[in-house]
Structure 1
């Protein structure tokens, strides 16, 4: 009888031993959810994204204050996902601070944040962005960032000279972006003839010769 009582008591103590254990929470009548004041990144990101609901498309002092509140923690933020979520939220606002924040994002140490900044600038053209984007398109360590920056050039009003650098890039992917940008900016369609667009960017008459397709691809490629 004593042995049976000991076994029961041992089982009871095993159930009640760790009051905050998530596994035994459903069985332990003494279980209490563990409380913490630490806010995990996912919750911080959710809170940041909810701020976008307050954007009304106006550049008012109230809207500027919301953007300022969003970007203020960026200087000391160590989580790139939080920084990216912040920039994506800031882009929902139509304030002068928005453009400045996106331009600053081009210098972020994380390539995914820089790529996001390029994408957001493509969707939201910003005065003075072309020079910074041209630098990223030419010198960034990440090729994905270079392509994203190149794609953002034309929507931000890049000059023919800035687009010429894309056409003269040895990488076919960059040439494709340059061809698409020149077609959109000039309204002239030379298919995949890179040489024709190079001449156009230089202010010259496109050569009358057989087309040189980008990366030796036929004219029916989906990019054209």
Structure 2
């Protein structure tokens, strides 16, 4: 696990008055037994919390995010952790962002993948560096593609450099995802020429025939890997 992220989340949780072991260190201990509630019941409870999200950073929203952060630290079932991640994506609090970033170190691939997509849905440019790092260091292709897709939802110049890395990848799926994300945030259509998009991402002028693409076309061209 990333020690810096672990220590950061620990500090945040202690500041919120929580004494539970921070989530990234959870796997070093025996998970708490939750036999009184099945995994399905826990998922339903987490999904119910999602309806309470207002998109504001308020005391009540922070309290719900704190509850979810405490739960994910000791949750043994990856499907429940995925539900928590998806729910936290709608809470615009600092701790929610930190939990999603810490989740990129989860041992379960689907949890990491959902963390990427959740960060993209938040559209926060501050998430670009961690998504770029995921593209560089993640071993699973599905998670790397999720990070590329997430960058396609964050309109930030810094995302261009990260997407250039994706388009330089030898895997055609990564190249395809990178091109689609570049189309989404640039509003341009340079065709399917990866080299032209790579030039554009680097700030160069590929000078092909291009046209502005409509919102409807962007929706119609969504990446099938999402």
Fold match (TM-score > 0.5): yes
| Whole-Å separation in 2 of the counterparts to 1:154 and 1:103 | 17
Query: How many residue pairs end up in the alignment?
Result: 176
Deviates more, 1:94-103 or 1:113-122: 94-103
| Higher RCO (Cα < 8 Å, 6 or more apart) | 2
2:41 corresponds to which of 40, 43, 58: 43
Aligned position for 1:197 = 197
Q: List runs of 5+ in structure 2 lacking aligned partners.
A: 1-34, 210-220
What is the rounded CA distance, in whole Å, between the counterparts of 2:222 and 2:52 in structure 1? Answer: 38
- Could you tell me which residue of structure 2 aligns to residue 150 of structure 1? 148
User: Does the CA contact (< 8 Å) of 1:163 and 1:182 recur in 2?
Assistant: yes
Structure whose residues are more often helix by fraction: 2
Residues 99, 126 of structure 1: 8 Å contact kept? no
Quote the residue 2:29 is aligned against: none
Structure 1 residue 110 displacement after superposition: 0.5
Write out aligned runs for 1:1-224 (5 A): 38-156=36-154, 157=156, 158-206=158-206
2-side partners of 1:208 and 1:73: how far apart? 51
Displaced runs of 4+ in structure 1, greater than 6 A?
A: none
Gap runs ≥5 in structure 1: 1-36, 210-221
TM-score (norm 1): 0.71
Q: Structure 1 121/205 Cα, relative in aligned 2: closer, same or farther at 3 Å?
A: same
Once the two structures are TM-superposed, the CA of residue 138 in structure 1 deviates from its matched residue by 2.5
* Residues 49 and 85 in structure 1, CA contact (< 8 A), matched pair in contact too: yes
Cα distance, 1:191–1:51 mapped onto 2, change above 3 Å: same
Deviations 1:89-147 (A, max 9, x none): 22222222222221111111100000111111121123421111112123212111010
- Whichever of the two has the greater Rg, that structure is 1
Checking the alignment, whether the CA contact within 8 Å between 2:56 and 2:92 is kept in structure 1 is: yes
Give the direction of change, closer, same or farther, for the CA distance of 1:105–1:207 in structure 2 (3 Å limit): same
Deviations 1:164-206 (A, max 9, x none): 1111111111111111222233333111011111222222221
Note the aligned Cα RMSD (angstroms): 2.2
